[in-house]
Structure 1
Amino acid sequence: MNTLHPPVPAAMPRARVLAAYLQETRAECLRYLRSPSFVLPTLLFPAVFFLMFGVVLGARNSPEAPRFLLASYATFGVMAPGLFGFGMSLALERDNGLLTLKRALPMPPAAYLAGKTAMAMLMAALITVLLQALAINLAHVQLQVPQMLHLALACIAGSMPFCALGLLLGTLVKGHGAPALVNLLYLPMAFLSGLWFPLSMLPAAVRGLAPLWPSYHLNALAQAAVGFDDGRAGLHVLWLAAFTAVVFAIAAWRLRRHG
């Protein structure tokens, strides 16, 4: 027997690789959907804000306010699954050893990240559908089917940059510090991107910094979906794609290096 060159394990068949991804995705989605402490705040937080400002107060300020706020709070809502689902859970799973266990299992390494990403996109879809239902039935926002699909697609795909950012945050802090760090970034980023108030109402210095935030660009795409197109959709998509790739690469490097 040649002990200098041990046999290389055979590659996992494609069917088993696909099954591993599907099983991890199913497990992640079920785990979060069965957690009321995650699902209810994630769904209800943007819905309550929209009810207060888009339904109760929106039409009093402007007939177009509910439509504008629909896109804004959809953006605000889809930020949370990526930031909290990745950031907080990754930090906790690194602390309690679950991540180490998953690495030891015979599963593709990327299945762990794919499962969490699918969970975030599923939550983004649920949030968008809920807000659209409230906007159409309670705020009487007139939306065509292509607009509804456009908004849903923008929000579902737009959850990816926040998954990358959440992944990076999860590699930076321990489990007990993750909630504070995520909230410290989540709420100010929403405010500074013009999600709660139009940027025209904010100081010039804040308006100048707004394009630095991924939420600003996603909000622009969401606004374009409901009829407030600024004519720069391609630029916003390119910025979000570059942000996602760079931040994910940094987070993956940190995860491999520091575990």
Structure 2
Amino acid sequence: MNALSPARAPVWRSYLAETRAEALRTWRTPAFVLPTLLFPLVFYVLFALLLPGRWGNLDKPLYLLATYGVFGIMGPALFGFGVGVAVERQNGWLALRQVSPMPPGAYLFAKLCMSLGFGLLVVLLLSAAAVLAGEFNVDPLRWALLLGVLTIGSLPFCAIGLWIGSWARGEGAAAIVNVIFLPMAVLSGLWIPLQVFPEWLADSAVIWPAWHLAQIALAVVGQAEDVPVGWHAAVLALTSIGFLALAARRLGRED
């Protein structure tokens, strides 16, 4: 059949309608949109493009394009799920959705699309800044691969955010996310290379999923050698599965 059957068409319309509503709601929240888009861009322009200096044989603008790209996709994932789910759960919206005819997966699908969309927009803004500054030193194919890696790599942070949203209260969720988000970014070497930290602190970066994603991103753009991509990908996959399971268990108790 060339057309969708009547039984399936309403399901997809529900997914699309929920995604559209989530996008409109998010764009109408300046407190989320402006920090999400501008903080990574401002930091990248300042530390990668305006401040002089080199980090050994590293290409600083390219190195920070990869790591600030990780930083950029973390924010929408953690805050979109962590704060968004916490507020909507506390206000009773999740309970209301459970008794509505909306497909159960449409809610998470819409938030996932929002997180991925904002994350990709951040990376595009960083890349545009590098192009305008004449510091975009990456092959287009590598850049496209970087976009793909960052898109898939946002899933563990969506899972962590969902877990936070499953138990945190709405008014405290933003603070909890910040307590996790900012230390993870710094201690994963997203702002400055880990070589500047004490050895014991640099070695502890292995506990952060952001470090694992950053290693893959740096390998993609040629700023890291001999990276065990499979191991880093396995850690990120297990992180996603583990936190999704924890979130599902916690939300299941509230049914």
Q: Compute the TM-score of the two structures, normalised by the length of structure 2.
A: 0.92
Equivalent position of 2:45 in the other structure: 51
Structure 2 gap segments, 5+ residues each = 1-5
Equivalent position of 1:82 in the other structure: 77
Equivalent position of 1:3 in the other structure: none
How many angstroms apart in 2 are the aligned matches of 1:221 and 1:130?
21
Kindly provide the amino acid, as one letter, of the partner of residue 235 in structure 1: W
How many angstroms apart in 2 are the aligned matches of 1:125 and 1:196?
19
Equivalent position of 1:112 in the other structure: 107
Counterpart pick for 2:182 among 183, 187, 190:
187
Equivalent position of 2:30 in the other structure: 36
How far residue 139 of structure 1 moved from its aligned partner, in angstroms, is 5.0
Matched, 1:60 2:18: no
* Percentage of pairs with the same residue: 44
How far residue 60 of structure 1 moved from its aligned partner, in angstroms, is 2.2
User: Is contact 1:67-1:141 (8 Å) kept?
Assistant: yes
Q: Secondary structure at the match of 1:30?
A: helix
Kindly provide the amino acid, as one letter, of the partner of residue 240 in structure 2: T
Matches within 5 A, 1:88-99: 88-99=83-94
Equivalent position of 1:9 in the other structure: none
Equivalent position of 1:233 in the other structure: 229
Q: What do residues 115-148 of structure 1 show as CA deviations (whole Å, max 9, x unaligned)?
A: 1011100111101111111112215221211011
Equivalent position of 2:251 in the other structure: 255
User: Is contact 1:66-1:139 (8 Å) kept?
Assistant: no
How far residue 16 of structure 1 moved from its aligned partner, in angstroms, is 2.0
Q: Secondary structure at the match of 2:88?
A: helix
Matched, 1:131 2:115: no
User: Is contact 2:59-2:223 (8 Å) kept?
Assistant: no
Equivalent position of 2:216 in the other structure: 221
Matched, 1:244 2:237: no
Counterpart pick for 2:21 among 19, 27, 33:
27
Q: Secondary structure at the match of 2:136?
A: coil
How many angstroms apart in 2 are the aligned matches of 1:233 and 1:76?
19
How many angstroms apart in 2 are the aligned matches of 1:200 and 1:150?
26
How far residue 190 of structure 1 moved from its aligned partner, in angstroms, is 0.7
Please identify, of 235-244 and 25-34, the stretch whose mean Cα deviation from structure 2 is larger.
Answer: 25-34
Please identify, of 229-238 and 146-155, the stretch whose mean Cα deviation from structure 2 is larger.
Answer: 229-238
How far residue 196 of structure 1 moved from its aligned partner, in angstroms, is 1.5
How far residue 207 of structure 1 moved from its aligned partner, in angstroms, is 2.0
How many angstroms apart in 2 are the aligned matches of 1:97 and 1:172?
14
Q: Compute the TM-score of the two structures, normalised by the length of structure 1.
A: 0.90
Between the two proteins, the alignment pairs up a number of residues equal to 247
Q: Secondary structure at the match of 1:228?
A: coil
Kindly provide the amino acid, as one letter, of the partner of residue 53 in structure 1: F
User: Is contact 1:136-1:143 (8 Å) kept?
Assistant: no
How many angstroms apart in 2 are the aligned matches of 1:94 and 1:36?
21
Structure 1 gap segments, 5+ residues each = 1-11
How far residue 239 of structure 1 moved from its aligned partner, in angstroms, is 1.3
User: Is contact 2:123-2:147 (8 Å) kept?
Assistant: yes
Kindly provide the amino acid, as one letter, of the partner of residue 164 in structure 1: A
